[in-house]
Structures are given as C-alpha cells and as structure tokens.
Chain A
Amino acid sequence: MRFRQRAPLGILLVLVFCLSVGNENALGQSNQIDDTQSRLVQAFVMVQQADLEGASPAQISLLANNLNLALGYEDNATLLFSKDINASNFYASKSASLSNATSAQALSLTSAARTQIFLNQVAAYSIAVAAGFGSALFVLELDRLDNLVRRMRLRRTRLD
C-alpha cells in the first residue's frame, strides 16, 4: 500500500529531476551562445577602433574575414542548438576563440596605428618647424647671399 502511494511521487520526483537537469543544460548552452555573441561584438568594437585609429585597409580586411568566419560559426552553433548540442558547443567555442584572437590582433593593430600616427605627426611638425626656421634664416640672410653672388660674378668677370 505504502509502495503504491509513494510510487507516483517517486516517478514525479524523477521526472522533475530529469526536467531540471535538461533545463540547466539548455540554459548552459544558451548562455554559451550568448557569450559567443558578446565576444563577437567585442571583437567588432576592437576592429572598428583599430580602423578609426588608422590601421591599414588590408589589415582591417583580414580581421573582417576572421569576424565573418566567427559569425558563420556562431550561426552554425545557433542552428544546431536544438538538434545537436555537442556540435553546437563545438561551433560556439570555435567562434569564441576566433573572436578572442581577432580582438587581440585588433588591439595590437590599434596600438601600432597610434604609434605610427604619433610618429607621422612628430615627423611632419618637425619638418614644418625646421622649414620655418630655414625660411626665416633665408629671408634674413638674403642680402648677404645677394652680396656673395655679386662678388662671385665680379670675380668671374675679372678672371675673363
């Protein structure tokens, strides 16, 4: 009698346990895809930053290819989520690792681009200042130069 009374309760408990484990698993997968998406967005933000800082179009194009590949993996992960959780996991982790690698490359490109821009600015303004000094000196010493040229011409005519 006791067994008969407790059996449905036991089955119910087992069912609830199974469902809760299933939900946790599904929630975990969903979180993994969410994480993949946020890493992809983070990578995009970093690449755009590198682009705006002046990284070369060829380098940005390479990073864009990586981003599109990571996006493809993420799409696969989402499509396979309800069909094959292991395959979905596989693609989600591939997407996440590629996004991370792209972020790191973009960060180093940003740093290199900033340094390059700084060096370009230093070079350009140094040349501007040097040219300013040279021009000022040239204007001030124009009379002396003129005299020098005259003397040289005079010497030539005397020699002739």
Chain B
Amino acid sequence: MLLLLFGSFSLVYSSVAYYSLSRPPSQEFIAWGIFSPSGSLSNYFSGAGANVSVGQTLDWHFAITNQMGSIQYVKVIYRLANSTSPNPNATVPASIVPQLGNSSVFIPNGRMAFVNFTWSVTSKSSQGGMIFINMRINGQQVSPPVGAVGGQRFRFFFELWTFDIASSSFQYGYRGQSSRVGVPLQVWFNSA
C-alpha cells in the first residue's frame, strides 16, 4: 500500500518538477524595421517628398529584434532596384537585383540591435532616358548597374538573412515553424 501511494505521489510531483524545469513554448520570430533619423518609420527624406538630390546624406538605421530563443548571426543585404525589378517575398530573395552591400550583427535572444545605413547619391549620369546613380553607402562607394526612367521610382530592397549552422551559410529570412520566413523591406525614392 505504501509503495503504491509512494509511486503515485512521486509521479505527480515529478510531473510538476518536469513542467517547472521545461522551457515554456514560444513563437520564434525576428522583427525589424528601417527608421529615419527622427526614429520613426516614416519621414525618411526629411520632408522633401521622396526626392534625393546629389550630395544629400541620409542617416537611416535598422532596428532588429531577435525572439528566436537563442543568439542569432544576422546579415542585412541591400539592393537597388527600379519599378520593374522583381520583388523579394516571404520565400524568395531578389537575387537577380544586384547587391549593393551588406551589414552583419550578432543579436542575443530577446535583444534589439541597431545597424546604421548612411547613404548619399554622389553623382548621376543619363543614358537613353535612364538615370544611373553612383552612391556612397556606409562609407563605401558603389555604382549600381540599375537605372530608372527620368531618375524616378528607384527603390531599395532590404533583405534579412540569418546564419544557418546546419548548412554553414547565410540563408534567406529566419527559421519558422515549418519553413524559412523572409521579411523583406523596401523604400522608394527619386533621384532629383
């Protein structure tokens, strides 16, 4: 009788111990946004519409929050596109669109990291009605091969990639419950 009661009580209390020692289930995700100097998700061009003139410097930054349950190695890839370029989506990056550069950061779980994105148009040239721009991004000079008609409707694509230990490489998006989740951002602008 003692043994039976002992077994039953031990089972109940052990279940309580197991429950208290287990990690609570949580939805894993990475959230991010691109912020203007005022710290908002708008007013990227300081009231100048979406027009960017040659020599104008824009100080933006990304805020990336890691809720993946462990530290993550995150890479932000930036590309310059025009209105006809194929968009990145939740599953596929815009690999056809040329990459301008990237920034990487390690983010502990439950923390937010800030990544600077300071850029300017250093010069522009015209070719058959298309405007091509040279840019400086985070101190690096870049000459994207993408042009836009009349310099209108350029756009930045920002893609978030995370380091995948299994493949030992950066993979697009972050690891979701059943598949990877891409969360691209884009900002339109005109070269005035």
List A residues at the B interface (Cβ < 8 Å).
Answer: 41, 44-45, 47-48, 51-52, 57, 60-61, 63-64, 67-68, 71, 120-121, 124-125, 127-129, 131-133, 135-137, 139-140
Contact = CB atoms under 8 A, between A and B. Distances in A.
Contact of A64 (B5, B8, B21, B106): B106
Given A44-B71, A60-B71, A124-B21, A68 B13 contact: no
9 contacts: A44-B71, A44-B106, A44-B163, A48-B70, A63-B71, A67-B73, A71-B106, A127-B17, A137-B2
A125 B107 CA distance: 34
B6 A133 contact: yes
Interface stretch (B55-63, B108-116, B153-161): B108-116
A41 B9 CA distance: 48
Contacts of B104: 71
Given A47-B71, A131-B9, A132-B10, A60 B17 contact: no
Contacts of B163: 41, 44
Nearest to B16: A128
Contacts of A140: 1-2, 5
Interface in B93-126: 104-111
A120 to B, nearest CB: 7
Majority secondary structure of chain A interface residues (helix, strand, loop or mixed): helix
Nearest to B73: A44
Q: Which 5 A-B pairs have the closest CB atoms?
A: A132-B10, A136-B5, A128-B13, A132-B9, A124-B17
A61 to B, nearest CB: 5
Nearest to A47: B71
A57 B110 contact: yes
Contact of A125 (B14, B69, B70, B109): B14
**Interface residue tally on B, bucketed by range:** 20 to 34
B165 interface: yes
Which of B69, B70, B111 neighbours the largest number of chain A CB atoms within 10 Å of its CB? B70
Contact of B105 (A71, A121, A139): A71
Given A128-B14, A133-B6, 12 more contacts: A41-B73, A41-B168, A44-B163, A45-B165, A64-B108, A71-B106, A125-B14, A129-B13, A132-B14, A133-B9, A137-B2, A140-B5
B20 interface: yes
B11 to A, nearest CB: 8
A139 B5 contact: yes
A133 B13 CA distance: 10
Contacts of B109: 51, 57, 60
A129 B16 CA distance: 11
